[in-house]
Amino acid sequence: MTGRPNEEAASLFAEMALLMELSGADRFRVLAVARVARVLEAMPTDICDVPGARSGEDLSALVALEGIGESSARRIAEWCRTGRITDLEQLREGIPPGLIAILDLPGVGPALARSLWQNAGIVDLDGLEKAIADGRLEGIPRLGAKTIENLRQAIAERRRGAERMRLGRALPIAESIAAQVRALDGVDRVEIAGSLRRGAETIGDIDLLCVAEDGPAVARAFVTLDGVSRVLAEGSTRASVMRDEGIQVDLRIVPARAFGAALLYFTGSKQHNIALRQRAIDRGMHLNEYGLFKGPSRGAGDAQGRPVAAATEEAIYGKLDLPWIAPELREGETIAPPVPSDTLVTVEDIRADLHVHSTASDGSMEVEEIIRLARARGFHSIAVTDHSRSSVQANGLDVDRLHVHAARIRALAAQCRGVRLLAGSEVDILADGRLDYDDRTLGGLDLVVASPHAALRQSPDSATARLLCAVRHPRVHILGHPTGRLIGRRRGLEPDIRAIAAAAAATGTALEVNANSLRLDLRDAHIRIALDAGALIAINTDAHAPEQFDQLRYGILTARRGGLPADRCVNAWPARRLHAWLKDKSGEARRA
């Protein structure tokens, strides 16, 4: 058994809810089972320790738990005794496993997945792709020409997404491989280079650079590390492998005296390298991966002569009459960054998280735990922003539940020292731009994040109008994950970002950079547009579980790529300034 016992049971119940939907089960029964999964996930103590759970003789204590009915209690007791749930196993047998990947496509609900299966015999993504290509889907219930075209695009997007790895997956993998390399004999220094060092949202391969004198020995050791599935190349200064995680890793081995030049070269981007080389030529020098040298290049592999600079990136930029440029800004043909690199926001600048979910909706953390984690991170403020009623799948709160929840948060806030706890909401922006709560309800909260969750394929014009409603709403502080895109999975809304940014600047509403590595929304290019328009930016984790607070760094990398200085990020402000803005956001716009 892996993970905490409750988590394992929770994932089985979540799977069961999904399979029930596919098998056409009654909606309320499905929701009840999904609820059990959430209850189990949130439960701090072992479910099997509840009296009667292990013996299975008297289930009344289980049934007494909120959200758990007779049949769920029976299944939990079976699981505690045997580690199995017979009902789930029966469901699994009746449903092709490949249907889950189809259900996972944007715009595909259980009814459509079921219809594809029952009416066209489609049981996996490959089958669906072929059926679309062959024109075999016409005439199937629920499938118009437009839906078919959307499906085709969604599959193409999914396949493209599978080729490049998300930043949030690649960075921890690269860090653990870098630690393996650092531990090798004769290795002095290891750095991550390439698109990963630049904080790109997806990564083609991992580039590592290390300092060592004995290149061949290090290359040999690298290709025999644990986790290597295939050796692609092995030389005296470099090696490339495929890893079990499904990604290629390139290692270059350089002497310490040329480390800066190599790091600069292998960090890229390619366009940045080309622009720097041209700048060197304009100054009567030449730049390559070994250093910056006087005079013109004498051809490939030219490494003769003493370099003008080579050991550090700073020295090379300096000799090219440039300040050091942060890797996140090394994109595009123009070298000059939009802001000085040392003003860019950092993880250490962040003092508040303004978008976090608790067990009241679909999070796994109690409010008390959220407070503890905020304190551990040295935050001065944290906002609990659970979902609103239209987000049924996420157990969104109706107005009554919101009132109870907010009152409880306020009571905890009153006793809370060191951290200011805010009673907020992540309110749905409905398809037509209306918000999911009335103004009076919203006005009673400390903080309102308004986000689009459904209708994410409406036209650009409708999307712009919809988001403008939210940005201009006097009770809304932050526009949450503005486009709703999921990297490699869902394109999301395509609004006129310039119009949104201009309205945000005028009203003092902040635009969110959602740090979840699946979202990174706003994306880098949008952040740049927002900053040019004068808008404020919020960087929030949208954490649903404790470890998700660590996703902050992906939001920071994205924000840095967008050129965000700390003073334009509300989460980096001192408490006084943040709370003044929360009370009167347009006042901040006037002051700015």
Binding site for Ca ion (CB under 5 A): 194-195, 205, 207, 250
* Backbone phi, psi, residue 533, to 5°: -80, -10
Which three-class secondary structure string do you get for 152-205?
HHHHHHHHHHHHCEEHHHHHHHHHHHHHHHHCCCCEEEEEEEHHHHCCCCEECC
Nearest partner of 33 among 64, 58, 10, judged by Cα: 10
The residues with which 512 forms a beta bridge, in sequence order, are 538
CA–CA gap between residue 341 and residue 32 (Å, rounded): 51
Q: Shortest Cβ contact with Ca ion: which residue?
A: 194
Residues 337-376, one symbol each (x = binds Zn ion by CB under 5 A, - = not), give: ----------------------------------------
Q: Which does 509 bind (CB under 5 to 8 A by kind): ligand DGT, Zn ion, Ca ion, none?
A: none
Inter-CA distances, 237 with 213, 253, 256, 322, Å:
10, 5, 13, 29
268 binds ligand DGT (CB under 6 A): yes
CB of 7 to ligand DGT, least distance (A): 33
- Strand 238-243 vs strand 248-254: parallel, antiparallel, or unpaired? antiparallel
Site for Zn ion in 494-553 (CB under 5 A): 542
CA–CA gap between residue 328 and residue 323 (Å, rounded): 14
266 binds ligand DGT (CB under 6 A): yes
User: Quick one: which of 111, 156, 233, 274 contacts ligand DGT (CB under 6 A)?
Assistant: 274
* Backbone phi, psi, residue 565, to 5°: -80, 150
CA–CA gap between residue 103 and residue 33 (Å, rounded): 18
Length of the chain: 592
Total of chain residues touching ligand DGT, rule CB under 6 A: 14
CB of 266 to ligand DGT, least distance (A): 5
Site for ligand DGT in 88-107 (CB under 6 A): none
CB of 250 to Ca ion, least distance (A): 4
What would the DSSP string read from start to end of 335-372? -S-SS-GGGB--GGG--EE--B--TTTT-S--HHHHHH
Nearer to ligand DGT, 174 or 371 (CB): 174
CB of 157 to Zn ion, least distance (A): 23
CB of 389 to Ca ion, least distance (A): 44
In the Cβ-directed half-sphere of 423, how many Cα atoms lie within 13 Å?
Answer: 19
Nearer to ligand DGT, 152 or 238 (CB): 238
Cα angle for residues 510, 515, 521 (degrees, 5° grid): 60
Q: Which does 542 bind (CB under 5 to 8 A by kind): Ca ion, Zn ion, ligand DGT, none?
A: Zn ion
273 binds ligand DGT (CB under 6 A): yes
User: Quick one: which of 269, 312, 341, 343 contacts ligand DGT (CB under 6 A)?
Assistant: 269
User: Quick one: which of 21, 41, 331, 426 contacts Zn ion (CB under 5 A)?
Assistant: 426
User: Quick one: which of 106, 168, 194, 484 contacts ligand DGT (CB under 6 A)?
Assistant: 194
Q: Which does 426 bind (CB under 5 to 8 A by kind): Zn ion, ligand DGT, Ca ion, none?
A: Zn ion
Listed ranges 8-16, 220-228, 238-246, 260-268: which one lies at the site for ligand DGT (CB under 6 A): 260-268
CB of 234 to ligand DGT, least distance (A): 18
Using the CB atoms, write b or e for 378-399: b if 16+ within 10 Å. Answer: ebbbbbbbbbbbbbeebbbbee
CB of 467 to Zn ion, least distance (A): 16
Nearer to Zn ion, 233 or 392 (CB): 392
Nearer to ligand DGT, 38 or 164 (CB): 164
Q: Where are the beta strands (DSSP E) in 206-332?
A: 206-212, 228-234, 238-243, 248-254, 285-288, 291-294
- DSSP 8-state secondary structure symbol assigned to residue 395: T
**Paired tokens of 210:** 């290390």
Nearer to Zn ion, 195 or 361 (CB): 361
Residues 195-224, one symbol each (x = binds ligand DGT by CB under 6 A, - = not), give: x----x--xxx-x-----------------
Q: Which does 308 bind (CB under 5 to 8 A by kind): Zn ion, ligand DGT, Ca ion, none?
A: none
CA–CA gap between residue 472 and residue 287 (Å, rounded): 50
**Paired tokens of 460:** 């650009």
Listed ranges 20-28, 319-327, 425-433, 460-468: which one lies at the site for Zn ion (CB under 5 A): 425-433
Count, in order, helices (H) and strands (E) of the chain. 24, 16
Nearer to Ca ion, 20 or 487 (CB): 487
CB of 587 to Zn ion, least distance (A): 26
Amino acid in the structure at residue 144: G
Strands ordered across the beta sheet of 228-234? 187-193, 206-212, 248-254, 238-243, 228-234
CB of 453 to Zn ion, least distance (A): 9
Total of chain residues touching Zn ion, rule CB under 5 A: 2
Residues forming the site for ligand DGT (CB under 6 A):
194-195, 200, 203-205, 207, 265-266, 268-270, 273-274
Residues forming the site for Zn ion (CB under 5 A):
426, 542
